[in-house]
Chain A
Amino acid sequence: MSVGTVKNYVGGEWRESKTREVMEVHNPATDEVIAMVPLSTREEVDEAVGVAHGAFADWRRTPPSARAQYLFRLKGLMEEHFEDLARTVTREEGKTLDEARGEMRRTIENIDVAAGIPSLMMGYNLEDIATGIDEELVRQPLGVFAMIPPFNFPAMVPWWFIPTAIATGNTYIVKPSERVPCSQNRIFEVLEDIELPPGVLNLVNGSKAVVDRLLEHPDVVGVSSVTSTPVAKHIYRKATEHGKRAQCQAGAFNFLVVMPDADLDRTIPALITSCFGCAGERCLSGSVVVPVGDTYEPLKQRFVEAAARLKVGDPSDEGVQMGPVISQHAKERILAYIERGLQEGAELILDGREVKVHGSDKGYFVGPTLFDRVRPEMSIAREEIFGPVRCIMRVDSLDQAINIIHDIPYGNAASIFTASGRAAREFKYRVMCGNIGINIGVPAPVAHFPFGGRKESFFGDLHGQGLDGVDFFTEKKVVISRW
Chain B
Amino acid sequence: MELTKFGALVQFALELEQGAAAFYNEAEKQAGGDSLKAVFSSLLSDCRKNAQRLERIRREDVNEMLLESVHGIHGETYSMPEVSAAGTGGLVAAAKVTEETLARYYRDIVSKLSLPDAARSFSRLADSHARNEARLADLAPQ
Contact = CB atoms under 8 A, between A and B. Distances in A.
Nearest to A269: B68
B64 interface: yes
A98 B5 contact: yes
A108 to B, nearest CB: 9
B8 A99 contact: no
B69 A103 contact: no
Contacts of A442: 64-65
Interface residues of B, number: 21
Residue from B63, B65, B68 whose CB has the most chain A CB atoms within 10 Å: B65
A408 to B, nearest CB: 23
A273 B67 contact: yes
Contacts of B63: 102, 105
Given A318-B11, A319-B3, A269 B64 contact: no
A441 B69 CA distance: 14
Interface in A256-297: 269-270, 272-273, 277
B59 interface: yes
A359 to B, nearest CB: 17
A465 to B, nearest CB: 14
Contact of B4 (A105, A106, A319, A444): A319
Nearest to B60: A105
Contact of A98 (B1, B6, B60, B114): B6
A321 B64 contact: no
Contacts of B7: 96-98, 101, 318
A270 B7 CA distance: 18
A319 B1 contact: yes
Interface string A57-79: 00000000000000000000001
A28 interface: no
B9 to A, nearest CB: 9
A82 B56 CA distance: 10
B80 interface: no
Interface residues of A, number: 29
B62 interface: yes
B59 A321 contact: no
Given A318-B11, A319-B4, A269 B65 contact: no
Residue from A97, A310, A311 whose CB has the most chain B CB atoms within 10 Å: A97
A83 B60 CA distance: 11
Given A101-B59, A105-B60, A272 B8 contact: no
B107 interface: no
Interface string A153-191: 000000000000000000000000000000000000000
Interface string B6-18: 1110010000000
A231 interface: no
B8 to A, nearest CB: 4
B58 interface: yes
Given A79-B59, A319-B8, A321-B69, A105 B64 contact: yes
A464 interface: no
Contacts of B55: 83
A71 to B, nearest CB: 17
A443 interface: yes
Contacts of B68: 269-270, 272-273
Nearest to B3: A319
A102 B67 contact: yes
Given A269-B69, A319-B3, A101 B8 contact: no
Given A269-B68, A269-B114, A102 B62 contact: yes
Nearest to A86: B59
A269 B64 CA distance: 14
Interface in B116-136: none
Interface in A308-340: 310-311, 318-321
Nearest to B58: A101
Nearest to A156: B64
Given A311-B4, A319-B3, A272 B65 contact: no
In order of increasing CB-CB distance, the 3 nearest A-B pairs are A102-B64, A269-B68, A318-B8
23 contacts: A83-B55, A83-B59, A96-B7, A99-B67, A102-B67, A104-B59, A105-B63, A270-B68, A272-B69, A273-B69, A277-B64, A310-B69, A319-B1, A319-B3, A319-B4, A319-B8, A320-B5, A321-B4, A321-B69, A441-B65, A442-B65, A444-B64, A444-B65
